[in-house]
Amino acid sequence: MKALNTKVLFEYLVEGHEKSGNADQFFNTDHISETYFLNNIVLNELATSIEENVKFDKSDFIKVLRALESNSQIRFENREIVSEAIEMFSMSRDSFSECLKSVINAGFQMKNLNLLRRE
């Protein structure tokens, strides 16, 4: 399993596989079944980079996020958190980065609340 980084993923999504040397090198593999790890930090950085530097319509960006989420070759730190953040983003005026952070923080707060109740 290869870990995705922000630069390679950004280049791949924005410039395309053929135009990006870094992405081409990264994704060039003999193993069709290669899996890729996408952690929350890289996903957050990717979203911020796209939101700040690319003229994507929000609906196009949501399509990109859903395509990443549904890609069976991508393993997320927590796919459920990503799904919730995409859903929140689709109904919110906040950036995807803010939605992702909100979902992560809410999950952390619920976990700690449950721990306190057990004590």
14-24 residue pLDDT tens: 876 555 555 55
pLDDT at 107: 77
65 contacts 89 by C-beta, under 8 angstroms: yes
The structural domain count of the chain equals 1
Q: Is the pTM of this model over 0.95?
A: no
Q: Are 37 and 3 in contact (CB under 8 A)?
A: yes
The parent domain of residue 38 ranges over 2-118
pLDDT per position as a tens digit, 97-106: 999 999 999 9
List Cβ neighbours of 35 (8 Å cut-off, separation of 6 or more). 1, 2, 73, 74, 75
